[in-house]
Chains A and B, each alone.
Chain A
């Protein structure tokens, strides 16, 4: 039996056991996201405009990740809005960073894998680099947005007559905690994905200059930095949106009371 197949079955059983219906939904969400990324790659391979395809698919991926992840409508709507704002800003930053730093394609470190492959393939790898940056941060942005909105929502539900100011104070404390752990997750995730490359750089005695300039390594650093920026912005935007939404609902209720 295929090892990956067996592990996928184990994952499915665990998710259903731990999460019940919600776990099953989350699993379906993962599978659907995989299919969306699949479609994204097919469309770009067919020479559709890379940025437009990425923007559209990012919206779908975020929607799947958020709406299949939780139940509460206020939480999911706010988190979705936050993620859209943050990802659009970051996409612009990614395009700018790629323009300045030229992180596209492969380097001499890939020689072995590239052997026998045609490299004049007529697909702009400058755009592929931007796609990689944007796709890598989607998960982190959605997660941070969901976490802070869900926590704040709980604060609102638990404490009646919460003032705007104290909600902001809560947002700040909770945001700080989420920021710390989310950045850690991203940090280890990226390190975990790049262990072989780092060992390569050290083992082959790359000069210090290369540690700060080499394409492949810097691409990973940029991805990590953009992700951290994304987490920070999504906490910030989400707090604003939650407080704004709360004040609106409250004033509506007050008017009803009169």
Chain B
């Protein structure tokens, strides 16, 4: 009983996660597309294949009996998949599918994944609530939701303009998003203004270095044309991407350094530029390495599936590094430069401002 009482909150979260799972599994009435659930699977044939690179794989044909959840009908579909499941899917009993077409000619467009995503969101929110209590969590969620909305607006503008200036749109987005996030976290204080200035200044400087390096070398060794999912000029898209990636990390770092230095300022107001500079560099030194790692892992993991496919297709490493991992590495390096630059920029800025404004707010 005591155990149950002590862990009460966790039980609530567990129940909420399970409830979200079942709710979202039965939300098919919200969909315009036909939604079906696999009730029976029969493997009809299995065939061994060997491709030109001597990879062996098995191709299966499966017959799926699917109950349409929002059409009240039972249909049969055939599906083909391989052991590697690179583009194909092996469907299991219980899987829910989004379909297209009508009477007799149904085709699978996607697995229905909203229940998995929804449950995970509920789990995260639940644990955040337990940890952060209602107020702090709602601020954090609010700032995330606001960022998503701002992002959606920027994307909408970008897609609906005839000749969008991508860099301009996403630079403005970056400024707005940074200001908003910092105001929500720090309130309208001098500390917030300094953090914002340091963030923007570091990001601009980083972009300047990137442009300079690309100009000097004439884009040598950089393959913007290898970018995936391109629907507009890749170079500008890459720059916009990098601005956003750098911004988040730099904001994090600048906030840490400024917070530490303002702590010093509160302890004793009569300090010189040098004190702030040294203290800031000390704080920054400790965090820059792990911060670069955060982005590095994200950018490199992103390229992995394609790297494996290329390796299996008999491509050599130099080619893969040059064609598949090229932009991931470039983005990591530029973000790294931003993260390192933010340390001296922030330290100097705080020192300069703190020496002039000696009124504690």
A residues near B (Cβ < 8 Å) are 1-8, 10-11, 14-15, 18-20, 22-23, 25-26, 29-30, 33-34, 37, 41, 44-45, 61, 65-66, 68-70, 97, 100-107, 109-110, 113-114, 117-126, 128-129, 131-133, 135-140, 142-143, 146-147, 150, 175-177, 179-193, 195-200, 202-204, 207, 209-210, 212-215, 218, 221-223, 225-226, 228-229, 232-233, 235-236
- Contact B304 A121, beta carbon cutoff 8 Å: no
How far in angstroms is the closest Cβ of chain B from A207?
A: 7
- Which residue in chain A gives the minimum CB-CB distance to B332? A30
Among A34, A133, A192, chain B packs the most CB atoms within 10 A around the CB of: A192
CA distance A125 to B287 in the complex (A): 35
Q: Give the dominant DSSP class at A's interface.
A: helix
Complex partner residue of A97 from B120, B230, B334, CB under 8 angstroms: B120
- Contact B309 A177, beta carbon cutoff 8 Å: no
How far in angstroms is the closest Cβ of chain B from A135?
A: 4
Among A105, A150, A195, chain B packs the most CB atoms within 10 A around the CB of: A195
Q: What mask results when residues 48 to 61 of chain B are scored 1 for a CB within 8 Å of chain A, else 0?
A: 01011101110100
- Contact A117 B309, beta carbon cutoff 8 Å: yes
- Contact B298 A7, beta carbon cutoff 8 Å: no
Residues of A within 8 A of B304 (CB): 41, 128, 131-132, 135
- Contact B244 A192, beta carbon cutoff 8 Å: yes
Tell me whether A176 and B285 are in contact in the complex, defined as CB-CB below 8 angstroms, given that A121-B57, A138-B297, A185-B248 are known contacts: no
How far in angstroms is the closest Cβ of chain A from B53?
A: 6
Residues of A within 8 A of B286 (CB): 22, 69-70, 146, 150
CA distance A3 to B51 in the complex (A): 37
Complex partner residue of B245 from A66, A120, A188, CB under 8 angstroms: A188
Task: Check if B16 is an interface residue, CB within 8 A of chain A.
Answer: no
Tell me whether A123 and B312 are in contact in the complex, defined as CB-CB below 8 angstroms, given that A6-B213, A7-B330, A195-B244 are known contacts: yes
Residues of A within 8 A of B240 (CB): 195
CA distance A150 to B288 in the complex (A): 13
Task: Check if B124 is an interface residue, CB within 8 A of chain A.
Answer: yes
CA distance A105 to B82 in the complex (A): 12
Task: Check if B231 is an interface residue, CB within 8 A of chain A.
Answer: yes
- Contact A221 B85, beta carbon cutoff 8 Å: no
Tell me whether A118 and B51 are in contact in the complex, defined as CB-CB below 8 angstroms, given that A33-B293, A132-B305, A139-B297 are known contacts: yes
